[in-house]
Amino acid sequence: MSLAEPRPKQLTIALNRGRILKEFLPMMAAAGIEPTEDMGASRKLVFDTVNPNVRVLVARGSDVPTYVEHGAADIGITGKDTILEHGTQGYYERLDLGIARCRLMTAAPAGFKYPAGRVRVATKFVRIAERYFAQRGQQATIIPLSGALEVAPVLDLADLIVDIVDTGNTLKANGLVAMDSIAEVSTRVIVNRAAMKLKFDEVTKVLTDLSEALKP
């Protein structure tokens, strides 16, 4: 780089540990943003990559859109379920990576029938559940839970749940069956609105490299 050339602006990419991180790592490497150390073996939250202009922030999944919305991260890697729950204010949804696929569904004990009156729903997807039951004209009391949703009907805390379903084995083990599909979920790339303007070249390169990594 000559003295006359502008220095690239550093980008921060936020993503969460777990399935998304595991499935995204090979894609990161293919896009030239491989972390310089083992992210799974470290308690660090911010990692340098082999690209000196890109660093990676590991955050709680539900916090990734917040970091991007407020500009603490320029790019986020998160599930469609998280986007639907959080809303899209402050960022653009730019790319479907097609990884960590699952479905957002209702689930209940076998033989469950919707009552004429109010139904009790346990979920961590409060906004999604509220919209869904309002759209189907069903009165619902939403009971926020952050984990162990499957036991809510068993303990009579709720009539049914709204949760992510992958294999369905956990539902089956707790006497529940999947019912209605609310949304197909996969991992998406979101971009801060200001970063899309102020760091256009840098953001576009990452999006292009990730798009290339998707090709067979």
The number of beta carbons lying within 10 Å of the beta carbon of residue 85 is 19
Q: Are residues 35 and 88 in the same domain?
A: yes
Residue 4 has pLDDT above 70, yes or no: no
User: In whole angstroms, what is the distance from residue 202 CA to residue 181 CA?
Assistant: 37
User: In whole angstroms, what is the distance from residue 37 CA to residue 151 CA?
Assistant: 39
Question: For the segment 78-106, what is each residue's pLDDT rounded down to a tens digit?
Answer: 999 999 999 989 999 999 999 999 999 99
Residue 216 has pLDDT above 90, yes or no: no
pLDDT of residue 17: 84
Read off the pLDDT of each residue in 129-140 and give the average, rounded to a whole number. 96
pLDDT of residue 2: 46
Q: Are residues 90 and 129 in the same domain?
A: no
Q: Are residues 17 and 41 in the same domain?
A: yes
Q: Are residues 94 and 32 in the same domain?
A: yes
Q: Are residues 180 and 190 in the same domain?
A: no
User: In whole angstroms, what is the distance from residue 108 CA to residue 159 CA?
Assistant: 7
Q: Are residues 170 and 123 in the same domain?
A: yes
pLDDT of residue 43: 86
What sections of 70-146 are H helices per DSSP? 80-86, 126-135
User: In whole angstroms, what is the distance from residue 173 CA to residue 109 CA?
Assistant: 11
Question: For the segment 162-171, what is each residue's pLDDT rounded down to a tens digit?
Answer: 999 998 899 9
Whether 135 is covered by a domain: the verdict is: yes
Whether 106 is covered by a domain: the verdict is: yes
Q: Are residues 92 and 196 in the same domain?
A: yes
pLDDT of residue 9: 83
Residue 208: domain span: 11-100+186-214
CA distances from 13 to 24, 99, 177 (A): 12, 17, 37
Confidence of residue 10 (pLDDT cuts 50, 70, 90): very high
Whether 2 is covered by a domain: the verdict is: no
pLDDT of residue 1: 45
Question: For the segment 172-213, what is each residue's pLDDT rounded down to a tens digit?
Answer: 999 999 999 999 999 999 999 999 999 999 999 999 999 999
User: In whole angstroms, what is the distance from residue 79 CA to residue 195 CA?
Assistant: 20
User: In whole angstroms, what is the distance from residue 192 CA to residue 68 CA?
Assistant: 5
* Number of separate domains in the chain: 2
pLDDT of residue 39: 85
Q: Are residues 91 and 119 in the same domain?
A: no
Q: Are residues 125 and 60 in the same domain?
A: no
Q: Are residues 167 and 149 in the same domain?
A: yes
Whether 6 is covered by a domain: the verdict is: no
In the block, residue with structure tokens 């083992």:
38
Q: Are residues 143 and 199 in the same domain?
A: no
pLDDT of residue 5: 58
We report the CATH number of the domain holding residue 70 as 3.40.190.10
Would you say the pTM of this structure is higher than 0.85?
Answer: yes
Q: Are residues 94 and 16 in the same domain?
A: yes
